[in-house]
Protein backbone atom coordinates (compact mmCIF):
# COMPACT_ATOMS: atom_id res chain seq x y z
CA UNK A 1 0.00 0.00 0.00
CA UNK A 2 1.44 3.34 -1.06
CA UNK A 3 1.63 6.06 1.58
CA UNK A 4 0.13 9.44 0.66
CA UNK A 5 2.59 11.90 2.17
CA UNK A 6 0.25 14.88 1.72
CA UNK A 7 -2.35 13.16 3.87
CA UNK A 8 0.27 12.28 6.50
CA UNK A 9 1.44 15.91 6.63
CA UNK A 10 -2.18 17.03 6.97
CA UNK A 11 -2.76 14.72 9.91
CA UNK A 12 0.46 15.90 11.57
CA UNK A 13 -0.58 19.56 11.16
CA UNK A 14 -4.06 18.82 12.53
CA UNK A 15 -2.63 17.06 15.59
CA UNK A 16 -0.12 19.90 16.10
CA UNK A 17 -2.92 22.49 15.88
CA UNK A 18 -4.99 20.63 18.46
CA UNK A 19 -2.01 20.29 20.81
CA UNK A 20 -1.14 24.00 20.47
CA UNK A 21 -4.77 25.00 21.07
CA UNK A 22 -4.98 22.82 24.19
CA UNK A 23 -1.70 24.20 25.54
CA UNK A 24 -2.83 27.79 24.97
CA UNK A 25 -6.19 27.14 26.60
CA UNK A 26 -4.43 25.53 29.57
CA UNK A 27 -1.87 28.34 29.94
CA UNK A 28 -4.19 31.33 29.49
CA UNK A 29 -6.63 32.41 32.12
CA UNK A 30 -9.98 33.37 30.66
CA UNK A 31 -12.03 35.32 33.20
CA UNK A 32 -15.26 34.83 31.30
CA UNK A 33 -17.62 34.56 34.21
CA UNK A 34 -15.74 36.94 36.47
CA UNK A 35 -17.48 39.92 34.87
CA UNK A 36 -20.83 38.25 34.38
CA UNK A 37 -23.75 39.89 36.09
CA UNK A 38 -26.67 38.18 37.71
CA UNK A 39 -29.20 36.44 35.49
CA UNK A 40 -31.63 39.24 34.80
CA UNK A 41 -33.21 40.48 31.65
CA UNK A 42 -31.39 43.26 29.84
CA UNK A 43 -32.88 46.65 30.47
CA UNK A 44 -33.37 48.23 27.07
CA UNK A 45 -32.77 51.62 28.62
CA UNK A 46 -29.14 50.74 29.38
CA UNK A 47 -26.33 51.13 26.88
CA UNK A 48 -25.83 47.49 25.93
CA UNK A 49 -23.37 48.25 23.11
CA UNK A 50 -21.01 50.09 25.42
CA UNK A 51 -21.02 47.30 28.00
CA UNK A 52 -20.39 44.55 25.45
CA UNK A 53 -17.64 46.62 23.83
CA UNK A 54 -15.92 47.08 27.19
CA UNK A 55 -16.10 43.33 27.84
CA UNK A 56 -14.59 42.47 24.45
CA UNK A 57 -11.77 45.03 24.74
CA UNK A 58 -10.84 43.80 28.21
CA UNK A 59 -10.69 40.18 27.02
CA UNK A 60 -8.81 40.53 23.72
CA UNK A 61 -6.78 37.34 24.25
CA UNK A 62 -9.94 35.23 24.04
CA UNK A 63 -11.10 36.99 20.89
CA UNK A 64 -7.71 36.68 19.17
CA UNK A 65 -7.38 33.01 20.09
CA UNK A 66 -10.77 32.21 18.55
CA UNK A 67 -9.95 34.20 15.40
CA UNK A 68 -6.61 32.44 14.99
CA UNK A 69 -8.28 29.03 15.33
CA UNK A 70 -10.94 29.93 12.75
CA UNK A 71 -8.29 31.13 10.28
CA UNK A 72 -6.22 27.98 10.77
CA UNK A 73 -9.25 25.73 10.34
CA UNK A 74 -10.30 27.55 7.16
CA UNK A 75 -6.79 27.32 5.69
CA UNK A 76 -6.66 23.57 6.40
CA UNK A 77 -10.13 23.20 4.85
CA UNK A 78 -9.06 25.05 1.69
CA UNK A 79 -5.97 22.89 1.33
CA UNK A 80 -8.09 19.77 1.75
CA UNK A 81 -10.62 20.96 -0.86
CA UNK A 82 -8.11 21.92 -3.54
CA UNK A 83 -5.61 19.11 -3.25
CA UNK A 84 -4.81 17.18 -6.41
CA UNK A 85 -6.48 13.83 -6.91
CA UNK A 86 -4.16 10.99 -7.89
CA UNK A 87 -5.55 8.11 -9.86
In angstroms, the Cα distances linking 18 to 14, 25, 35, 36 are 6, 10, 28, 29
Domain membership of residue 86 (yes or no) is no
- Domain of 55, in residue numbers: 5-81
The length of the chain, given as a count of residues: 87
Domain membership of residue 75 (yes or no) is yes
Domain membership of residue 33 (yes or no) is yes
Domain membership of residue 71 (yes or no) is yes
Domain membership of residue 34 (yes or no) is yes
Residue bearing the bigger pLDDT, 60 or 84: 60
Sign of the Cα torsion 3, 81, 65, 36 reads: negative
Domain count, the chain: 1
Q: How far apart are CA 9 and CA 20, in angstroms?
A: 16
The single-letter DSSP state of residue 69 is H
For the stretch 21-80, pLDDT in tens is: 888 878 877 665 566 555 555 566 677 777 777 777 777 777 788 888 899 889 888 888
Domain membership of residue 87 (yes or no) is no
Identify the CA nearest to 34 among candidates 70, 51, 17, 59: 59
Query: What pTM was computed for the model?
Result: 0.39
Amino acid sequence: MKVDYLQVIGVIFAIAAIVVALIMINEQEFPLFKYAESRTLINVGDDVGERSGIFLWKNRSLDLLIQAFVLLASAIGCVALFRAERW
